[in-house]
Structure 1
Amino acid sequence: MACLLFYLSFAYNLTRTDYTKLITLYMALFFLFYKLVQILKHNIWALTWISFVFRAIFILAIPNLSQDFYRFIWDGRMIVEGFNPYLHTVESFMSKDQFPVAQAQELYTGMGLLNASHYTNYPPINQLCFVFAGLFAGKSILGSAIVMRLLIISADFGTLYFGKKLLKKLHIPAYNIFWYVLNPFIIIELTGNLHFEGVMIFFLIWSLYLLYSGKWQWAAIVLALSVSVKLIPLIFLPLFFQWFMKRDVISTERRDEKPYDDEQVTNPLAPRNDVLKRMIRLIGFYAIVLITIIVLFAPFYSSEFINNYAQTVGLWFQNFEFNASIYYVAREIGYSFRGYNEIAIIGKVTPIIVILFVLIITFFRKNKTIIELITAMLLALSFYYFTTTTVHPWYVATLLILSVFTKYKFPLIWSFVIILSYLAYINLNKADKSENLWVIGLEYIIVYGVFLWEVFIKKEQAQISSKRCIL
């Protein structure tokens, strides 16, 4: 009952600038969530129904922590009206007093000038979700929000379905999936604030399940759908190399269980030493992903589209700054001897560093089993978020779902302390409008502390303990 009241207050009686109430409600909800999973971990049906009820509370709510959904509605209505959303900024219409969609002025005011002045960067499957909102609620902002919310809720339960099945096959407790599904961070940021990471995650987990079941062609198609919601899964593509090229016929994860699907002795994936067949399947996997993405983008293709899309994606590396960690340290070092526009320099170097890191763990870390593959994904994406210039709260959702299948819990801790990022602009109404770096520092001290403990210190202690047992 307490959770219901807290979620009702969060959905319908909270403003973003009411920082005390925001933090208090979130901390209470997170504590109750943790206790619910602990108490009901053996009652999957109860946890499932509770997850649904908590989401249902937000059905009629207008997002109160993010204004991105106004742009979602705009893009969807633009497509319904026959416009290519990648070729026009909102500002290009409004500056000429042109109103191409219903409620144009309200949408323009809601999304803000920053969002309105840039070309859209949302991939085609994401745009399809916006189109549904435009078709079924073309003249109502609340109606559009409801349509999109229903899509996101459906995706969450798709993640629950395939995530639970994959956990069971990996001998990991099925209730682990509720560290994601029932997490107030996920409910508030995805269902509440209408961020489509939830849809991208659904396709990603479905793809991993298909891959583990030996259906790699379908896994490639579904992975492409994930990329076509949010581009972030592109960072995972190199990591599939060892899965296709070096994986044993019988996975050590399942030696004690009856073989099934791709773990059978007559593994359809590839004979142990048949390098050529493995290489063909690897290339085929990448080709299917690439072709599917191209087909999905094709209806929007034009030379202007390519230029506009590249320009918009580049903004995330060289223009926007929010809730960063290592980047802010590098920026301060740069300021000490250059003193200006550090993001233009660091933003060009960071993607190269991330690519090198991904290639290193692709070829020099074991990624042959599904758990090793997911762990590599978790580490690669964590490195990207640790070094990037912008980390919005909802970005952590992907880390959280990946962690469910691993031994690492730092994303769960991050999903708790990420609420501090909303305090970063506590100075907004003061003379100094910059982010509060003390707040950001506290967030990352906690996250890095848990990360270093789990990845390095805890592992080293386990190795020392193992050696002592042998002796």
Structure 2
Amino acid sequence: MNPTFFKSHKTPLLFTLFSVAFYLSFAYDLVRTDYIKLISLYSALFFLFYKLVQTGNSDFKFLLGMAILFRIVFLFATPNLSQDFYRFIWDGRMILAGFNPYLFTPESFISSSTFPVAQAQELYYGMGALNASHFTNYPPIKQFIFMVAAFISGKSILGSAIVFRLFIIAADIGTLYVGKKLLERLKMPVHTIFWYILNPFIIIELTGNLHFEGIMIFFLLLSLYLLHLGKWKSAAVSFALSVSVKLIPLLLLPLFFQYFTKKNTAIHNSDQTNIVSTSAALGLPKLLGFYGIIGVTTLLLFAPFFSSEFIQNYSKTVGLWFSAFEFNASLYYVAREIGYRLTGYNQIAFIGKFIPMLTILTVLILTFFRKNTSIKHLIVSMLFAVSIYYFISTTIHPWYLATLLILSIFTTYKFPLVWSFMIILSYLSYTNTQHSENPWIIGLEYLIVYAVFIWEVFIKKDRQKAVFHI
């Protein structure tokens, strides 16, 4: 209640007041089919977020308080842009009921009028027929959180959602802490972490809609921080925990090759007076040890669910992302249109086979033809690897971009920040009962994203030089 504080923070506090009001409306009074309100609220929140970070970047504690406050607004809200949390609740309750969630689809129970968990029918209709007809693909750390929610709130959907939300908020606070520490060690402005933490895209998609990218990101960032400290064994365990939340970090594994096998430049430790090496010339044995710890830890986490049927179901479900699902894609839609014109039907099954191959080729090029001997260079390569994968994928749900956004914080690239604003256009597909996408809307989204990407990577030479020769 210090008058001096209010006087010095008058403008940021005004931005905060409007943000809270808009977040309240977003959380408790928005239907995703109301596209005018959806776009208006999101645009206003994004503008206020930009101004908050811009005007408050010198007051870390103030921005931290705002980050927590905005998340608390969503605490008792039911997600209104995604149905996935119903499946999360189903899986958790299945585990407590003694079932392996990887071996049964919700559809198999409901179609036979069998209700293995509390509120089974409500959860089934909430998740939707498409989700219910497939085996779960959520890794074991997520399943553990689902189970905790089922244990604490086994008969309340909102109660389970609150438990999920508390885990996600805790992970975001952890990301803020670790991100700040890593930025300090990399001698970068610490306030840039708020371009992630205060971003309405992150608050809405993770805290609001209960997507677990935030927990995966916390473990991934912790792994990079520990690696920078030279604690490669602990970093490997943390990386495995990240994989066991979402599989996307597996894509990044080859990129560590140069970091371990080639000498790194010594970096000054700002917390001490001496000069330390991040992990100079760790060598091939430690690289193999790093991979080995990741592999063993991941297998141990999956072990409670392991069976031959699990492998078959899980690989089949993951494969659907390349051969069956389509949403908010860019280059894939171009290839699909060419396929239509040449053959007269959707060529997703054929095109989808090339996506993993192109992704692997991209990662190998980044592994052996880019300098990845420091954490900064490594993060840039990770950013490019995930970006190319998303550019060619058949399915890009909004929350996927959280990984790009956190990686970009440690670079000079801003196209993920631009994309985090433009991605709201993908929700316009829900304005009709068929959930069909408007190609002009998708085209507008990617026109702007690709324009910024091309500008930053290929045209703006001074920025490119700053990243590649830092």
- TM-score, L = length of structure 1: 0.93
Which among 170, 175, 179 is matched to residue 186 of structure 2?
170
Q: Provide the rounded CA distance (Å) in 2 between the counterparts of 1:260 and 1:461.
A: 28
User: For residues 358-400 of structure 1, what are the alpha-carbon distances to aligned partners after superposition, in whole Å with 9 as ceiling and x for unaligned?
Assistant: 0001000111111100000000000000000000000000000
2:209 matched residue in structure 1: 193
Aligned partners of 2:32 and 2:81 also within 8 Å = yes
1:455 matched residue in structure 2: 457
2:352 matched residue in structure 1: 347
Q: Provide the rounded CA distance (Å) in 1 between the counterparts of 2:342 and 2:204.
A: 42
1:466 matched residue in structure 2: none
Give 1:324's aligned amino acid: A
Aligned partners of 2:340 and 2:347 also within 8 Å = yes
Which among 431, 442, 445 is matched to residue 444 of structure 2?
442
Q: Provide the rounded CA distance (Å) in 2 between the counterparts of 1:310 and 1:358.
A: 21
1:266 matched residue in structure 2: none
Q: Give the drift of 1:5.
A: 0.6
Which among 126, 143, 164 is matched to residue 110 of structure 1?
126
Does residue 40 of the first structure (1) align with residue 56 of the second (2)?
Answer: yes
C-alpha spacing 1:102/1:213, structure 2 compared with 1 (3 Å):
same
Which among 113, 129, 133 is matched to residue 97 of structure 1?
113
1:468 matched residue in structure 2: none
1:327 matched residue in structure 2: 332
Give 3-state SS (helix, strand or coil) of 1:283's partner.
Answer: helix
Q: Where in structure 2 are the equivalents of 1:3-402 lying within 5 Å?
A: 3-251=19-267, 258-263=273-278, 269-270=279-280, 272=281, 278-402=283-407
Which among 393, 404, 408 is matched to residue 403 of structure 1?
408
Give 2:65's aligned amino acid: W
Q: Provide the rounded CA distance (Å) in 2 between the counterparts of 1:34 and 1:384.
A: 28
Q: Give the drift of 1:249.
A: 4.9
Q: Provide the rounded CA distance (Å) in 2 between the counterparts of 1:451 and 1:118.
A: 35
5+ residue gaps, structure 2, are 1-16, 466-470
| Number of matched pairs | 449
Q: Provide the rounded CA distance (Å) in 2 between the counterparts of 1:416 and 1:351.
A: 27
The percent of aligned pairs where both chains have the same amino acid is: 65
Q: Give the drift of 1:260.
A: 4.9
Aligned partners of 2:254 and 2:363 also within 8 Å = yes
332-341 or 175-184, which deviates more? 332-341
User: For residues 297-345 of structure 1, what are the alpha-carbon distances to aligned partners after superposition, in whole Å with 9 as ceiling and x for unaligned?
Assistant: 0000000000000000000000000000000001111111112231000
5+ residue gaps, structure 1, are 264-268, 464-471
Q: Provide the rounded CA distance (Å) in 1 between the counterparts of 2:348 and 2:50.
A: 38
User: For residues 256-308 of structure 1, what are the alpha-carbon distances to aligned partners after superposition, in whole Å with 9 as ceiling and x for unaligned?
Assistant: x9545544xxxxx45x5xxxx60100000000000000000000000000000
- TM-score, L = length of structure 2: 0.93
Give 3-state SS (helix, strand or coil) of 1:424's partner.
Answer: helix
Q: Give the drift of 1:460.
A: 6.7
Aligned partners of 2:456 and 2:463 also within 8 Å = no
Q: Provide the rounded CA distance (Å) in 2 between the counterparts of 1:249 and 1:449.
A: 34
